[in-house]
Amino acid sequence: MAYGLSVFWLPLTRALSVGQPAPAACPDMGVMTALFTTTCDWRVSDLVTVFSIGIVVLGLSAALFGGWLERAGPRKAGIAAALCWGGGFLIGAFGVYVHQLWLVWLGMGLIGGIGLGLGYISPVSTLIKWFPDRRGMATGMAIMGFGGGAMIGSPLADSLIKSFRTADSAGVWQTLAVMGVGYILFMLGGAFGYRVPPAGWRPDGWTNPTAKNAMIASGHVHLRDAHKTFQFWMIWLVLFLNVSAGIGVLALASPMLQEIFGGELIGLPGTGFSALDAGQKAQVAAIAAGFVGLLSLFNILGRFFWASMSDRIGRKGTYAIFFALGGLLYAAAPWAAGIGSQALFVAIFCVILSMYGGGFATVPAYLADVFGTQFVGAIHGRLLTAWSMAGIVGPFVITKIREAQVAAGVQGADLYGRTMYVLASFLAVGFLCNLLVRPLAQRWFMSDSERASLDVRSGATASGPSGSFGIGRGGFSPGAGLAWAVVGIPIVWGIGITLSKAFILFR
């Protein structure tokens, strides 16, 4: 839902002036005034900060609490994530009710961001241990869930806001309260469903392919040593550069399509965006919203597709495709815009966003291959600081380049050309960083005695020889069917709404 918080911003800009002809605006309102005012409507710029705080805190909390997750277990981390994320919504609801922006920042930004970080890494660390033979597929499923949350949460929030809206209420605080309780209940259900396999567990008939693939480690690196390795920082840069490029596009996807194609989107070729009237701009904005929805869908699908593909071609090979193909597509986007091919332009960015999502989903399996699985959750948490940094750098760079182009009088298809080339250069550097990732030297891995000692302290000591321990490969059961229904029905609903909005692009 972090990706879908923007559904609240516009209603909140009229929280005090619902039903009034004009907002309760305060000219030249500073940030401190906005945080504590009870008489002025908030600005979108003040509200968007909630998302920035949440993404930054996601990476920091994942890094800070990753070690605790490995000691306490994923269930306690999942419970903490549920209470922080859902509780953050409840605090945000109270902040909206009393019109105190600092409470919204605190609840949905800071406390909610801690919930995001713990909720992101706890299923990943668990699934990697359960699926040693399908690490990419398992992490792809988990991180696809994270990316797909907004596809369900945004239309749900929109429907709730409309239901709760009255002549004197925007309906937002009620929506936040209902969703906060809902998130707590559903996330607790997920957390209590966690199970950790015994030490040495593996599927029947499966052997670790370390002899065939030098990139898959046979040992485990301790958390205290992972960040000391050259490989960690190369993978950090790999994630940072991939995310910086992708998140920059997401930040400006809607205005980019509108300003490049303008009147062509509504059957008025040759008419620039600035020449359209208010009604025509509203039509164009609706089409651009469909474009954003389509990008979100490919972002989600790419998380599962590319992560699963990495099980076959390797993580390093998968990232090589991301950077090589992605760089070519970024460079080709201005050409597609120049020839006026809307379909080709949309297709290019759908593939780009699939690789952006795929990068998130593949990196935990990459870490497990290089550093082993003993501390992969905590190591992944530290690596997510790259996401926090990219969430600042990507939008900043792309926005500053656009502002410079606008100031120079550049319009239409040329407005984002330089931006695309800069992002392509990000991926070129990422390609080189990925090439430099090599297997770790044996000195970095824990000894057998040290690992056995850790297993004793964590309670994960095997009670018998390594193997399946009588744990089967799963299968269909009423419980499994119910679990799939709880997850699958909302996802199908969200995909249906997304596709219906995206269909307007191809009318």
Residue 232, pLDDT score? 96
Q: Are the C-beta atoms of 336 and 344 separated by less than 8 Å?
A: yes
pLDDT band at 343 (very low <50, low <70, confident <90, very high): confident
Which string of b and e fits 162-175 if b means at least 16 CB within 10 Å?
Answer: eebbeeebbbbbbb
- Is residue 131 scored above 70 in pLDDT? yes
Match 């005034």 to its residue by tokens: 33
Report the CATH number of the 1-18+29-198 domain. 1.20.1250.20
State both tokens at 123: 């299923």
Averaged pLDDT of the chain: 87
pLDDT band at 399 (very low <50, low <70, confident <90, very high): confident
Most confident stretch, 120-124, 177-181, 245-249, 349-353: 177-181
Residue 293, pLDDT score? 80
Which has more confidence, 444 or 412? 444
Distance CA 213, CA 439 (A): 10
Residue 393, pLDDT score? 86
Local structure of residue 441 (DSSP, 8 states): P
> Over the stretch 56-80, which tens digit does the pLDDT of each residue have?
899 899 999 998 998 899 999 999 9
Local structure of residue 108 (DSSP, 8 states): I
For the full predicted model, state whether its pTM sits above 0.95.
no
Rg (CA), the chain: 24
Q: Are the C-beta atoms of 280 and 263 separated by less than 8 Å?
A: yes
Q: What percent of the chain has pLDDT over 90?
A: 44
* Of the candidates 172, 173, 169, 150, the residue with the CA atom closest to the CA atom of residue 161: 172
Q: Quick check: helix, strand or coil at residue 196?
A: coil
Residue 238, pLDDT score? 96
- Is residue 208 scored above 90 in pLDDT? no
- Is residue 128 scored above 80 in pLDDT? yes
- Is residue 354 scored above 90 in pLDDT? yes
Distance CA 280, CA 490 (A): 34
CA terminus-to-terminus distance, the chain:
29
**Beta-carbon neighbour count of residue 441 at 10 Å?**
9
Distance CA 216, CA 158 (A): 45
Distance CA 115, CA 80 (A): 7
Distance CA 250, CA 259 (A): 15
Residue 386, pLDDT score? 92
pLDDT band at 116 (very low <50, low <70, confident <90, very high): very high
Which has more confidence, 285 or 491? 491
Angle (nearest 5°) at CA 466 between 445 and 71: 55
State both tokens at 207: 């052997």
Q: How far is CA 42 from CA 5, 37, 396, in A?
A: 15, 9, 23
Which has more confidence, 310 or 397? 310
Beta bridge partner(s), residue 201: 467
pLDDT band at 458 (very low <50, low <70, confident <90, very high): low
**Beta-carbon neighbour count of residue 505 at 10 Å?**
18
pLDDT band at 25 (very low <50, low <70, confident <90, very high): confident
* Of the candidates 304, 373, 343, the residue with the CA atom closest to the CA atom of residue 127: 373
Q: What is the mean pLDDT of residues 254-281?
A: 80
Residue 177, pLDDT score? 98
Whats the size of the chain, residue-wise? 507
State both tokens at 203: 């599927």
Taking the mean position of all CA atoms in its chain, how far away is CA 323?
19
> Over the stretch 69-112, which tens digit does the pLDDT of each residue have?
988 999 999 999 999 999 999 999 999 999 999 999 999 999 99
Distance CA 355, CA 322 (A): 6
pLDDT band at 463 (very low <50, low <70, confident <90, very high): very low
Residue 211, pLDDT score? 56
**CATH 1.20.1250.20 intervals, the chain:** 1-18+29-198, 215-447+487-506
Residue 310, pLDDT score? 94
Helices (H), 107-134: 112-130
CATH class of 215-447+487-506: mainly alpha
Sign of CA dihedral 413, 415, 421, 427: negative
Match 């709730």 to its residue by tokens: 160
Residue 412, pLDDT score? 65
